[in-house]
Structure 1
Amino acid sequence: MASIAFALIVFMGCRHIYQSYASDKLRDVLQLHRSLVYSRTVLATNYFDDAFVRRGLGGSIVRILGKNWIEGSALFIVISVVWLALPLSAIVKRLAETISVKVALFFLLILIVSPQTFLAWSLDFTRTDMMVAGFIVWSCVLMQTGKLYRASIVLVLGSLVHETSLIYGLPILAALALELRSKGRLNLSSMVRASIVVTSGTAALLILQALLSASPQTIAMHMLSAAPKSAHPFFVNAQIMATYMQVTGPQGVKDAICLNAEEGGVYIFWSSMALIAVLAYLIILPFYRRYILFVLAALVPCCFLLLVANDIGRWAQLSVLNAWLLSSTLTLWEEESPPADLRLIAGVVGIMGMLALGSGRYDRPFTLYRLRYVVAPVPNRVPYTKLMDRCAPGWRLAATAP
């Protein structure tokens, strides 16, 4: 069962990379250059050129894989998918052995066809989300066997790739810890000590990054010089914006909040759609009436990032992953009460309904193309460059000369 799950997950996560390279068409390569340049520019930061820089682990892996702008990022995504597929397939295997093959296949189906998981992640060739998700899932696998301290350390290490490892990892870990506590399998002192491990480890990393990272000027120069030369405005603006957000620190967070406010009703619409997408998994997956745990694991981190960051679709995707992890773990721990057949059928019908809305992208939880012909026009996201001109008029200059 584990090998089948692993193969399917890797296929779903890598299929667009394979299609682009197998076709050997220049337009596919150019599309990879243009549409994903922002996240690829972020991956330019690494420990070899920028010392102990924030979010430097992913870029360091890419650096080891080679300096080719496209091939390095594609190999990074393949490694990320494998890193994520290993713990996910382990969970599916446990479900098959502990509950039943039928239940395991249900969870595998939801995982690989969800518009908010691999259908969406596979479209983003250069993001770190699947590697971050791998750290979160590995942490949950450890937590399923009561290894709270090791699970906490894994999340802290994941923050070297992106801080979403903690933002999403800690809520799901807390939800599982509370469930174990309610069953009498985890004492309060262990939870307190694990909190100290996470707090002290995160603080140590932040201090070391502040002391040992290269200067903002050096990081900006490296990020701006790492990409292939292009005169296309989309390419140039995306590269500069990625650099600006990386080197400006707290100011970048303030500007991100401003972008959300400036987008106004459009941002509210898509944020609402993201929350609806996450809430839909209450119907799709079994949660054994642990609704408070669902709110903690899936809704709290999503709502937080919808306020302080801009990539609506990404936050919905990671929240859906947390919902899946919570549901599958509760099912493992409630082995005497497996989901009924009608519950599984309802979940399959629900995920088919989600698929009808189209796969998610980094900036939206659904594409909603089909709805454009049956309801009022769906609002398009406002280009970030226009919003940045309102929130931080000198952002291009600040990125090129921080």
Structure 2
Amino acid sequence: MNNDLKKRKRIFRGYPKDTLKITIADAKVINEENAGLSIKKRSLGKLWGVSIRSSYYTEKVNNMRLYGLTDAKRDTEIINLTGLCKEIVDPADQGQLSRVLKEAALIPVPFKQFYELYDSKKLPPYESIKRLVLEKIKIITKDTIDEFLQIVISNGLFSNLISEDGDDMFVSQLDNNFSLSGKVDNIDLSFSEGINNDVEDTDLPMNKISRLDTRPTLLPKTNQINLMYFENSRIFEIVKSTLNLLGIEFSQQKIIFGESGFDFDFIKSQSELYSIFILNNNNLNSENNKYWMHIGMVFGHLNEKCIFIDSKSNSNIEIDDLDSEVLKIDDDNISESKLLIILRLLERNIIEVNIK
């Protein structure tokens, strides 16, 4: 059998793997059996009836985090429930429960984007929904579309974001406080699973702008960024995820470094566009003088509107001006890397901050 067929396929979802209803049930176990107090990781595994080393435990914690019910990760020893979670599992009244269920259902960015697509509209036939979601929500793929729709529609019915009238379903009008409207509020800097098939750690770190009445909103100022890269890598996926979260459209251009170097006619054609050039390329010898000479020429053409990004582990940049210009990120620290990318986008006036 082909070894490739034996490999477990890792899927980057960017959204919870279970429904909100199931995830709330997992959180209620903590609230009911431990009076809502902090609980040790091992004790939680026993309450859930799963091994803390299993993927089931990791998925349950990830789901709770992605819905805003906890800040814990797989390796967190003491698990706490967030204020939002406590309002859900022990609401003061039905009005509060209705509000916080909608809030939790809208926290995962792809879910929020779905409800935005059909705000105040009747849901069309299933195949039409699939086509529009695959076109508009970039993080969703043909491999995940059916799972995604099952979860997001189930969540909508559970939270009353979606109502039923016979065989028809309608998305409710979204409250302005929840509407994306071209902005990104409550930016979730988390990954629910491995970034690509080579990544083994499914519990990647996260950072989330806290729930505040007044908070910064990041507004894209440009319609599109040209994303250039050598190969699929962790850094490539981090950059794509960050742009998706910010609502910035981007094109992808895989760059080939052949016998004659780069296609400079193409490089020159990109000089008037905002670009991100990801330098890391594990298939190239980073000490190759020809490679660095050509990278220097690329830098000369694109430096004014281009953000160069490389891995911190690459300390072999041979061009001083480029070395000082390149944004070095740690592909093992997802949260920090995303924040650094956002800061660089701010510095280049590609996005702006609006204080609400």
TM-score (norm 1): 0.26
More helix per residue: 1 or 2? 1
Q: Of Structure 1 and Structure 2, which has the larger fraction of its residues in strand?
A: 2
Q: Between Structure 1 and Structure 2, whose CA radius of gyration is higher?
A: 2
TM-score by length of 2: 0.28
Task: Name which structure has the greater RCO, CA cutoff 8 Å, separation 6+.
Answer: 1
